[in-house]
Amino acid sequence: MRRFHQGLIGSLLSLAALTAQAELKHTCPDNSPYLERPAAKAMIAELVKQGLDEQRIRTVLGSAECQPKILESIARPAEKTHTWATYQKIFLQESRVQKGVEFARVHADTLTRAEQTYGVPREIILAIIGVETRYGQHMGTYRVVDALATLGFDYPPRGAFFSKQLKALFELEQQAHIDAETITGSYAGAMGFGQFIPTSYQAYAVDFDNDGITDLVNNPVDAIGSVANYFSEHKWTPGLPVAARAQLNGSGYAPLAKKGEKPSFTLAKARAAGVSPLSCNAAITSEYCFDLPDSTRVALLDLQGTEGAEFWLATDNFYTITRYNHSRLYAMAVLQLSRQLATALESSQ
């Protein structure tokens, strides 16, 4: 027993040391300008080889400053610190719905064209922009170059990813007429109405009004088209319901709930385990219902809602929403806001 306690104490001390070391890595260093970092010098050389202006890159990167608040924010994102009960209160508000209705009225023709072009319902597009920036009201106050330099050079767990985003930001100066020195966004370097990170901007942004400039920051038309294109490219299936509330019979559901939000088993297997979706033809009705073939792939979600445990059967379209933000809480907020928007838009006609 003594040996056990010694081992436990040693493990705890080691864990404390690792934690302290990790915290040390995730703080802004003193007097370490980014232009003097070897990784920054390598990035500059790579960008210059691509034909970008070296002096411009040095000017922008030389102005970047490490932001402690960014390191604090990425260490505790809302998706990891909230349950569904608390998370939904952030995004499912009547004021956000009303803003969405106003935005939809102004951009009705654009939303119709996006639906027809990409097969993505307007309420889903609206919900994304509503959750991300409250329809352009809150696009972020951090300079993007500060955010990406901080996370690329001073946050080792995701350094490679954010260094790639920083490199893409400089490329976007030429590709999308973005001022890399002044543009602001989220603590993770996302920009515009739909909060695209630089590589997503490069890959999925579209010039939806055909004016020769792909602008997701100042042009809601391009933003609407780009969100729809993002969903289309991530295999959104037109007409497929997103999720239904699930009914449980017995405890056979437990292994299925551990498989994550990517659909990996059929409705037939779910039913065999005692899990069935609410039917849209049932006596007890819900707007979150579906009647799909038993061959449909689904995932089982177990969420802690305001009234306790909630169980949902989610389709590939739910998983597509998580490609925008890799969180089931985020996807559920988008789904439910989209339903609220669809109802509000229908009643306002």
Residues known to be catalytic = 132
> In the chain, at which residue ranges do the beta strands (DSSP E only) sit?
142-143, 184-185, 243-248, 265-266, 275-277, 297-305, 308-314
Token code pair at residue 129: 């922009």
Rounded CA-CA distance 319/310 in Å is 18
Token code pair at residue 334: 């988008």
Return the DSSP state at 233.
H
Chain position carrying tokens 């960014």: 70
Q: Contact 262/297 with Cβ under 8 angstroms?
A: no
Q: Give helix then strand counts, H and E, for the chain.
A: 17, 7
∠148-133-321 over CA atoms, to 5°? 85
Q: Contact 311/252 with Cβ under 8 angstroms?
A: no
Rounded CA-CA distance 257/118 in Å is 32
Burial level of 212, CB count in 10 A (0-12/13-18/19+)? exposed
Rounded CA-CA distance 310/40 in Å is 47
Rounded CA-CA distance 64/323 in Å is 29
CB atoms inside a 10 Å sphere around CB 210: 9
